[in-house]
A = this chain, B = another copy of it.
Amino acid sequence: MVDFSIEPSALNSSRTASGLPTAQPVDYKITARNVSVFYGEKQALFSVGIDIPDRSVTAFIGPSGCGKSTFLRCFNRMNDTIASARVKGEILVQGKNIYGPDVDPVQVRARVGMVFQKPNPFPKTIFENVAYGPRIHGLAKSKSDLEEIVVKSLQRAGLFNEVKDRLDGEGTGLSGGQQQRLCIARAIAVSPEVILMDEPCSALDPIATAKIEELIDELRENYCIVIVTHNMQQAARVSQRTAFFHLGYLVEEDTTDQIFMNPKDKRTQDYITGRFG
């Protein structure tokens, strides 16, 4: 029998220790209740509810088309930009319903940052890429302020050392992994409370992937992170909690250890053992 076991280092036990015990009440950063999403006539998500704790990484896994991205994009009202999409239900970020009547989605997005599947730096300089967010939100009082923010964000994204000599080089000139870290830096720069990542490594090579995973691990100390991934190993490596989606339903959600070692649902088990997907 082939052994696909994941070694202790992959599911870092120290992390699991510092992770959040399931039973104990925690301060949830995001709470979703009865979220259903429709694309035109077609329902893509069926009454999903979830609680997502702060300062930890929550992974969404599931086969292609199961609605992971759709659900993730509800958290910063990114679905608003798709004309046919309709969202029902409520999502509380820090206790406030972001789908409430007088909420400005633009402000929601400033608080809930997002990193996309394909690195999408602006075709501007590296500096401008990171400075863009702080600029439009007026987060810097002065030039030196702005520089500080940019440098700090790049440092946090683990990119600063690699690019410090060419901050005015084109962001699109970086390698894929660097671009993705630049996008993370860009997201961090507006000091969001939550960072959403939709398959951030799927376009990257293994080395770049490893770097991003390391970064996620560090960021977890300050942010609430939600990550979508196709790669179960990745979910196991970086997340503390995992939610498994299937055909638009949230099948199971628990600590990552639980999901991978002791899935309750047959579908979850089939999926993580590679029976499908």
CB of A23 within 8 A of chain B? no
CB of A106 within 8 A of chain B? no
One digit per residue, 1 when the CB lies within 8 angstroms of any chain B CB and 0 when it does not, for chain A 261-277 equals 10000000000111111
Q: Do the beta carbons of B6 and A5 come within 8 Å of each other?
A: no
CB of A41 within 8 A of chain B? no
Give the number of chain A interface residues (Cβ < 8 Å): 35
Q: Do the beta carbons of B11 and A6 come within 8 Å of each other?
A: no
CB distance from A239 to the nearest CB of B (A): 12
Taking CB atoms and an 8 Å cut-off, the chain A residues in 237-277 that contact chain B are 237, 257, 260-261, 272-277
A103–B64 Cα gap in the complex (Å)? 41
Partner of A261, one of B2, B206, B234: B2
A274–B11 Cα gap in the complex (Å)? 11
CB of A183 within 8 A of chain B? no
Q: Do the beta carbons of A274 and B4 come within 8 Å of each other?
A: yes
CB distance from A46 to the nearest CB of B (A): 16
Q: Do the beta carbons of A206 and B64 come within 8 Å of each other?
A: yes
Partner of A64, one of B10, B204, B210, B237: B204
CB of A37 within 8 A of chain B? no
CB of A125 within 8 A of chain B? no
Partner of A6, one of B2, B6, B231, B237: B2
Q: Do the beta carbons of B6 and A274 come within 8 Å of each other?
A: yes
Question: Which A residues are closer than 8 A to B by beta carbons?
Answer: 1-8, 10-11, 63-65, 203-207, 209-210, 231-234, 236-237, 257, 260-261, 272-277
* Known interface pairs A2-B11, A4-B274, A5-B273; 15 further A-B residue pairs with C-beta atoms within 8 A, sorted by A's residue number: A1-B6, A2-B257, A2-B272, A4-B4, A4-B5, A4-B273, A6-B273, A63-B206, A64-B204, A64-B205, A65-B205, A209-B276, A210-B276, A231-B274, A231-B277
A-B contact pairs, 22 of them (CB 8 A): A1-B261, A2-B6, A2-B236, A3-B4, A3-B5, A3-B261, A3-B273, A4-B6, A4-B233, A4-B272, A4-B273, A4-B274, A7-B275, A10-B273, A10-B275, A64-B204, A65-B205, A207-B276, A209-B277, A231-B277, A233-B275, A234-B274
